[in-house]
Amino acid sequence: YRDGVALHGLLPGSRLLTLRGADQHGLYGTYGNACVDDAVNAYLAGGRLPEADPTCTKA
């Protein structure tokens, strides 16, 4: 996560989607968290990034 935050800081206009308490990378579609999946699906469907960095919690 530390490296992801660092990379995010180097990429202007990027967004960092965080799942609190996750212990792995690549959560979309495999981890089973609706908040993560919905955020990524919204981006893929509309091509627009959220206004801020979204944070999800483990269900």
Q: What is the pLDDT of residue 47?
A: 95
Does residue 24 have a pLDDT over 90? Answer: no
pLDDT interval class at 23 (50, 70, 90): confident
* 57 three-class SS: strand
pLDDT interval class at 26 (50, 70, 90): confident
Note the pTM of the prediction, 2 decimals: 0.84
All structural domains of the chain with their residue ranges: 2-57
Task: Extract the tokens encoding 54.
Answer: 């979204």
Does residue 51 have a pLDDT over 80? Answer: yes
DSSP string, 25-49: S--TTTS--HHHHHHHHHHHHH---
- The DSSP letter of residue 12 is T
